[in-house]
Amino acid sequence: MNYDVIVVGGGHAGCEAANAAANLGLSTLMLAVNLDTIGAMPCNPAVGGPGKTHLAREVDALGGVIGIATDATYLQIRMLNSSRGPAVQALRAQSDKREYAAWMKDYMESLPNLTLRQGMVKNLIIENNAVAGVELAFGDRIRCRSVVLCAGTFLEGTIWIGKETMPAGRAGEFPAVGLSGCLKSLGFTMGRLKTGTPPRIDGRTIDYSNLEAVPGDEDLRFFSFLDKRPRLPQIPCHQTRTTEKTHQLIRDNLHESPMFSGMIHGIGPRYCPSIEDKIVRFADKDSHLLFLEPEGRSTYEVYLQGCSTSLPVHVQHEIVHSLPGLENASMVRPAYAVEYDYLPAIQFDHALMAKDLPGFFAAGQILGTSGYEEAAAQGIVAGINAALYARGDQAFHLTRSSSYTGTLIDDLVTKEIGEPYRMMTSRSEYRLLLRQDNADVRLTPLGREIGLVDERRWRLFCDKQEAINREKARLKKTRIHPENEAWTAGLAEYDEVLKQSATLEELLRRPRLPYELIERLSPSAADQSPVVPFAYAMEVETDIKYSGYIERQKQQVEQGEKYDSIKLPSDFNYLELDHLSKEAREKLNRIRPETLGQASRIGGVSPADISVLLVKIEQARRALKAVAEKV
């Protein structure tokens, strides 16, 4: 049977890609090495965190599934950085890994237009210099119009524990063998990356009596913008710390680490280092915080977050027993490192399609990222574009100013990244505009336009926006006078006074006054709908309190978009532009940016180089104008 779109891989990128293509009406096939591991959470079963929450909510706003799955299967949800500004606040959920994967598998099996099949792809079928299908390991050939590769860590994957190694995409699963060779034969450059995971502990053998508990929030917020989220009993996480004994054990056994002995050549994630990396890089610290996080309601396994390692098993046992509360703990699964092939993303455009192979898309760890959220964000964009390509429609792009997803993709395809990329709020220059709470405002209209946002989600979005606008109008017109005793007392709670009448909007602009005070002392009129639900308070308060900063950031966006609107000729021979620096010539010629804005974000391209390009573009424009006038 032929398909419009084939998605290779059933992880977070693959699920979002397949969901997008199928919901856009394209006949879609998902191929996975093992259908029983669709939606698996092989590392920490958790979603969210700084920067990552923004991605998960953006995927949901576009019509994706990671947020819905997380809300359906959480063990605990809490808001990180709640005492800090709205730009860096981040929701985080500890998920039940078995329930999450089961939910995702059931969901994928229920999708119209989607077929699931177990199989390993070893070759791409190429016709007329474009993708025309895939060939499986046992000889089956399946034709299609576009392919999305979401292979995760499986391409020629190898796991390491000490000096012991075996081929595997992750522990207990076969690697994908053969496809790397096919991609290299097609002219793709490939690299090698490394990631890792910590040991899992038998929770029944942990002494929690002296460990600090980390509970979930009482006032729950959720990842999806949809309604009817389940209220589940929450399970606390706990904290422990490394000790001097832990550090000495690691220092004494560094020669046993395949990373430090040079046996692993792949580059690991800078912002999620192994425990060996931490001890070496931060030698001045005498302790590191670790988290004990439950993996599910139906398992006693506990994830030892912050203790990723590839040291031998006997050393891992000693490390575990050196930690407070784990002196008598049993290790259920050892930690390991996994090394795998990846495709540097500069070979792909902003639609995540290969520049030199039409119809071939990629997403997730195969493009050099780390994390479920990064994979999901790429997956939905690649799935949308694979569907649009198969239909012959124009590609869908997200800009840096529209989303963290746009920032992620722009970074990947314009910068030469030599380590697994992790999204953080500091990656974006527009953090106040791109908050987690307004992801639906930014992206749901785009999802509706594409066709991924259904009628129910759209109705909920419109109702929410109407409620927010109604509340903003109320705050703007309602005036409070100094003789109001209730308000005088309420303001005194925050060391504020009211010397003359002011609107609720003007009061909310005061840094110390929270929306909660207004909600308590000035509820909406009886003839209005209920006061904006508390879930919308963050949007209302942030938009009003930070309006001046938001306006300035919008001006920055307009300035930045000027360069992004200037197209660069596709046939520009940068190597002949003598006034460019040598590094700029080489990188521009290799990456071939589409716009001047993209060129300005390439590492090694200086403002002086951009000035040269501006001159060359203007010269080319004048030359074309002169030719047109002669004609």
Dump pLDDT digits (tens) for 363-409. Answer: 999 999 999 999 999 999 999 999 999 999 999 999 999 999 999 99
Q: What is the percent of the chain where pLDDT is above 70?
A: 95
Q: What is the pLDDT of residue 268?
A: 67
Quick one: three-class SS letters along 360-394?
Answer: EEECHHHHCECCHHHHHHHHHHHHHHHHHHHHCCC
Q: Tell me the one-letter amino acid at 123.
A: N
Sheet strands side by side (includes 28-32): 114-118, 28-32, 5-8, 146-149, 360-362
Cite the DSSP H helix spans in 173-237.
Answer: 179-185
Name, of 61-65, 79-83, 306-310, 524-528, the range with top average pLDDT.
Answer: 61-65
Whether the per-residue pLDDT at 141 is higher than 60: the answer is yes
**pLDDT band at residue 522, thresholds of 50, 70 and 90?**
confident
In sign, the C-alpha dihedral spanning 559, 562, 563, 565 is: positive
CA 444, 223, 466 angle in degrees (round to 5)?
45
Of 91, 42, 78, the closest CA to residue 236 belongs to 78
Dihedral angle, C-alpha 223, 240, 301, 376, nearest 10 °: 30
Calpha distance 616→480 (Å, rounded): 60
Which secondary-structure segment (H or E) carries 331?
strand 331-333
Calpha distance 446→619 (Å, rounded): 37
Q: What is the pLDDT of residue 629?
A: 66
Q: Which two tokens stand for residue 612?
A: 């040269």
Report whether 424 contacts 269 (CB < 8 A): no
Of 129, 8, 131, the closest CA to residue 390 belongs to 131
Q: What is the pLDDT of residue 622?
A: 76
From 68-82, 206-220, 302-316, 483-497, the region with the lowest mean pLDDT: 483-497
What pTM did the predictor assign?
0.91
Beta carbons within 10 angstroms of residue 69's beta carbon:
27
User: Which residue(s) pair with 146 in the sheet?
Assistant: 5
**pLDDT band at residue 535, thresholds of 50, 70 and 90?**
low
**pLDDT band at residue 203, thresholds of 50, 70 and 90?**
very high
Whether the per-residue pLDDT at 294 is higher than 70: the answer is yes
Q: What is the pLDDT of residues 37-89, one digit of tens each?
A: 999 999 899 999 999 999 999 999 999 999 999 999 999 999 998 778 777 88
Across residues 549-559, what is the average pLDDT? 83
In sign, the C-alpha dihedral spanning 528, 529, 534, 540 is: negative
C-alpha separations of 558 from 438, 544, 561 in Å: 19, 21, 5
The domains of the chain are located at 5-194+340-449, 454-552, 566-630
3-class DSSP state for residue 318? Answer: helix
With a CB cutoff of 8 Å and minimum separation 6, the contacts of 400 are 406, 407, 410, 428, 429, 430, 560
Q: What is the pLDDT of residue 532?
A: 45
Which residue is it, tokens 């009886």?
526
Q: What is the CATH number of domain 5-194+340-449?
A: 3.50.50.60
DSSP-assigned letter for residue 255:
G
Whether the per-residue pLDDT at 616 is higher than 50: the answer is yes
Which residue has better confidence, 569 or 317?
317
Q: What is the pLDDT of residues 155-190, one digit of tens each?
A: 999 998 988 889 888 888 888 889 999 999 999 999
In sign, the C-alpha dihedral spanning 601, 66, 424, 41 is: negative
Whether the per-residue pLDDT at 525 is higher than 70: the answer is no
Beta carbons within 10 angstroms of residue 36's beta carbon:
11
Of 370, 45, 414, 2, the closest CA to residue 198 belongs to 45
Q: What is the pLDDT of residues 578-605, one digit of tens each?
A: 888 888 888 888 888 888 888 888 888 8
3-class DSSP state for residue 321? Answer: helix
Q: What is the mean pLDDT of the chain?
A: 90
In sign, the C-alpha dihedral spanning 342, 345, 347, 353 is: positive
**pLDDT band at residue 533, thresholds of 50, 70 and 90?**
very low
Report whether 15 contacts 63 (CB < 8 A): no
Beta carbons within 10 angstroms of residue 445's beta carbon:
16
Q: What is the pLDDT of residue 29?
A: 98
**pLDDT band at residue 531, thresholds of 50, 70 and 90?**
very low
Which residue is it, tokens 């129910």?
456
Calpha distance 492→471 (Å, rounded): 24
Which residue is it, tokens 């399609």?
353
Calpha distance 42→46 (Å, rounded): 10
Whether the per-residue pLDDT at 14 is higher than 50: the answer is yes
Report whether 471 contacts 531 (CB < 8 A): yes
**What DSSP letter does each residue of 115-138 carry, written as one string?**
EEEE--EEEEEEETTEEEEEEETT
Q: What is the pLDDT of residue 266?
A: 67
As its CATH architecture, domain 566-630 has Orthogonal Bundle (1.10)
Q: What is the pLDDT of residue 569?
A: 82
Whether the per-residue pLDDT at 626 is higher than 80: the answer is no
In sign, the C-alpha dihedral spanning 219, 220, 226, 228 is: negative
Q: What is the pLDDT of residues 342-371, one digit of tens each?
A: 999 999 999 999 999 999 999 999 999 999
Calpha distance 75→288 (Å, rounded): 25
Q: What is the pLDDT of residue 432?
A: 85
254 phi/psi in degrees, rounded to 5: -60, -30
Calpha distance 356→183 (Å, rounded): 12
Cα 95 to chain centroid distance, Å, stands at 16
Q: Left, alpha or beta for 39 (phi > 0: left; psi -120 to 50: alpha)? A: left
Q: Tell me the one-letter amino acid at 52.
A: K
Asked if CATH classification 1.10.10.10 holds for the domain at 454-552, the reply, yes or no, is no
From 54-68, 163-177, 444-458, 464-478, the region with the lowest mean pLDDT: 163-177
In sign, the C-alpha dihedral spanning 496, 438, 463, 552 is: positive
Whether the per-residue pLDDT at 527 is higher than 50: the answer is no
Q: What is the percent of the chain where pLDDT is above 90?
A: 63
Beta carbons within 10 angstroms of residue 297's beta carbon:
13
Dihedral angle, C-alpha 217, 223, 225, 227, nearest 10 °: -60
Across residues 203-230, what is the average pLDDT? 93
3-class DSSP state for residue 572? Answer: coil
115 phi/psi in degrees, rounded to 5: -115, 135
From 100-109, 214-223, 235-244, 605-614, the region with the lowest mean pLDDT: 605-614
Q: What is the pLDDT of residue 534?
A: 52
Which residue has better confidence, 553 or 146?
146
